Structure 1
């Protein structure tokens, strides 16, 4: 039996993977990797057999049960198997299912954390997710499948709210948050392809996102993140005229 490593690749840039993650990639016999892993990261494991098992919204994807089976099969044939996941394996990465499959097969595994996209995006924006007197709580979320559930109410209560995989439902996310009490003028920062040469970002208000402003801006080929909350107001106001900025600060106008 070999050993499986669930390695966090980080947000994209090859030099943002951990030292431990890079070292294990250099030892790997086979690497099962997500779709969004940058080529520069895969170059760190040039000796390994590469197997693409990623999932992309709206595209053909490898079923999770088949990924689990591949991990088990590879561990029975190779000494070092890496499951390379974007960001951190333990956040929206289906890591639990893979770990339970490995446990059931009696295969040893280890988890190597990675920098998740929310933290990397906050660094790119130069805006902390927490801010004294403004943001004391942070929630990482995906869109709830039940708009009236407690999940939505909990997300509304978070001072800083980060949505993963929210590109295709950004309008609906904003509308649901407003309907459950989030102020319509709440700032939203959107980051695409964080830490890669393609990275870019924009800002808008929650009601603008509900009206389709984000949909018009997105590049559907790039991964994106929605960061919502007063901690990002300075980004929103930076490009506004003094009159509009003053009105926003007084709470009289939604950008």
Structure 2
């Protein structure tokens, strides 16, 4: 009698980085996985919860791809057919600029059962961890989440439209586009709008840079920091602890927490 497991794919959001911010359900699926396909923004400590699973890095970074997306799709399906339960582990939430639906649709075409386990998106959690609410009564009634760059590398044209709103604007994958983003806001006469750059959100290396549209590039240049960053633009940024001290104090030489 064959003991081969039925193919199954669990699309699991791993959260912003801290291993404790994955959901209980996501962690339970990870423990039962036969194969784990994981991305670059996944904290690799999570892989210890799948000690017997095959682990395959399929991450993408700027200028580097372990696999093309089409290859990831096929690898996911092939692994499910050969080994059974596959966990596709993605940073943040799989449906927020994570191309998760593309993978689900591909699996459906191959008649493989799938489930989606949401993750905590960095777009909301990282500002929160920097004590920046994305909405606040009397200040911001809405928030907008944008990717800074399109698939072809061009600046997202919706960023220009965002400058017309009073909403909190959260920009992912945008640090390298910061000068162009600043230019858009300055053109819209919003140079005094508070801004924060939050690097390595939820990790021990988390760092925040505070400023305004007019000062944020200079403030960012004064610090030594690397890693993925989230840009938060809007009046709610000024609610962060010590914001005014960090931005306006004459005795402060930089704006890093």
Please show how residues 154-173 of structure 1 align to structure 2 within 5 Å.
154=162, 156-173=164-181
Alignment-derived partner of residue 195 in structure 1: 202
- In angstroms, what is the RMSD of aligned CA positions? 2.2
Q: d(CA) in 2 for partners of 1:95 and 1:148?
A: 20
Normalising to structure 1: TM-score of the pair? 0.86
Alignment-derived partner of residue 90 in structure 1: 95
User: Alignment partner for residue 4 of structure 1, among 9, 28, 31?
Assistant: 9
Alignment-derived partner of residue 186 in structure 1: 193
Shift of 1:96: 1.8
Shift of 1:117: 0.8
Matched, 1:105 2:113: no
Normalising to structure 2: TM-score of the pair? 0.86
8 A contact 1:3–1:107 mirrored in 2 = yes
8 A contact 2:35–2:53 mirrored in 1 = yes
Alignment-derived partner of residue 213 in structure 2: 206
SS class of match (2:127): helix
8 A contact 2:210–2:219 mirrored in 1 = no
Shift of 1:132: 0.6
Q: d(CA) in 1 for partners of 2:125 and 2:20?
A: 12
Structure 2 unaligned spans of 5+: 1-5, 252-257
Structure with the higher fraction of residues in helix conformation: 1
Task: Count residues in correspondence.
Answer: 241
Q: d(CA) in 2 for partners of 1:165 and 1:231?
A: 21
Structure 1 unaligned spans of 5+: 245-255
Q: d(CA) in 2 for partners of 1:90 and 1:148?
A: 18
User: Alignment partner for residue 131 of structure 1, among 136, 145, 158?
Assistant: 136
Matched, 1:239 2:246: yes
8 A contact 1:147–1:176 mirrored in 2 = no
Matched, 1:73 2:78: yes
Q: d(CA) in 2 for partners of 1:240 and 1:204?
A: 5
Q: d(CA) in 2 for partners of 1:22 and 1:148?
A: 34
